[in-house]
């Protein structure tokens, strides 16, 4: 499964699942460029690079901007001679009920989670086609399959990734390009830790109790770790996954949510 010297892009790779996936791909010998809105934050970048600097780059990227996306991908392709792997992990989350739901909350999540992924694929796919090989992984969510109160925008954005991926799979198949999605349940990322802190503040419950309640949402009673998602992604972008496309992998720990 291990492959070396592929060129990979990971959006939203300074934290959470994106960070874990970037680290995992580097360990396989791939050259990874992380794109992030915080790509010009020296402290955040330094914390990620560490000893991996030889195979890891970080650059500013705003997936909400077509110009930013085109420039970012073009620079990676020019520096590396192409683009082989694209992992779309950039995403935002904000709750709002349908009644009274603001346009700003809706548009922010659709534009980042769904349209941003589309922009990245549109920019990277020609380079994959030229090379006759490509792997695209979109980070969806169990929210793409199961509705949640007060989460219309997030659920819609993640469900949209599944439809987008099917079209990309069909258009890429003749050119050696695959497109798949990973749909995790709760993953113990910085975002989830923010939810836990908010619940602690709202309820006064001890941190470990709140964390246990999140973990109890699945029969395994364990939160999924970013590194577990990274292992799946590493396989899906490998040569061994040539015939795996138009597929969504639910990492649900035994529960729909």
Catalytic residue numbers read 154
**Burial class of 3 by CB neighbour count within 10 A (0 to 12, 13 to 18, 19+):** middle
- Could you give the dihedral angle defined by the CA atoms of residues 200, 224, 154 and 143, in that order, rounded to the nearest 10 degrees? -120
113 HSE (CA, 13 A, CB side): 27
Angle ∠(89,125,49) on CA atoms, nearest 5: 40
Residue listed under structure tokens 């364990």: 222
DSSP run (H or E) holding 15:
none
As a whole number of angstroms, the distance between CA 37 and CA 46 comes to 15
What CA–CA distances, in Å, run from 50 to 25, 28, 206, 211? 15, 17, 34, 30
As a whole number of angstroms, the distance between CA 138 and CA 68 comes to 19
């Amino acid at each position: 499964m291990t492959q070396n010297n592929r060129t990979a892009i990971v959006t939203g790779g300074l934290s959470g699942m994106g960070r874990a996936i970037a680290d995992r791909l580097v360990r396989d010998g791939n050259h990874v460029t992380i794109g992030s809105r915080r790509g010009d934050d020296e402290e955040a970048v330094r914390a990620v690079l560490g000893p991996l600097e030889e195979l890891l780059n970080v650059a500013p990227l705003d997936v909400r901007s077509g110009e930013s996306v085109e420039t970012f991908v073009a620079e990676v392709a020019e520096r590396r001679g192409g683009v082989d792997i694209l992992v779309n992990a950039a995403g935002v989350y904000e709750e709002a009920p349908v009644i009274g739901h603001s346009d700003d909350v809706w548009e922010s999540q659709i534009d980042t989670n769904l349209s941003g992924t589309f922009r990245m694929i549109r920019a990277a796919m020609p380079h994959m086609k030229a090379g006759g090989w490509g792997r695209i992984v979109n980070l969806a969510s169990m929210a793409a399959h199961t509705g949640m109160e007060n989460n219309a925008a997030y659920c819609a954005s993640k469900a949209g990734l599944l439809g987008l991926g099917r079209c990309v799979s069909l258009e890429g198949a003749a050119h050696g390009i695959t497109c798949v999605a990973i749909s995790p349940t709760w993953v113990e990322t910085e975002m989830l830790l923010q939810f836990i802190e908010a619940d602690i503040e709202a309820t006064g419950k001890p941190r470990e109790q709140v964390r246990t309640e999140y973990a109890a949402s699945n029969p395994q009673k364990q939160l999924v770790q970013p590194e577990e998602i990274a292992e799946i992604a590493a396989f899906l972008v490998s040569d061994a996954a040539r015939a795996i496309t138009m597929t969504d992998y639910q990492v649900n720990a035994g529960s729909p949510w």
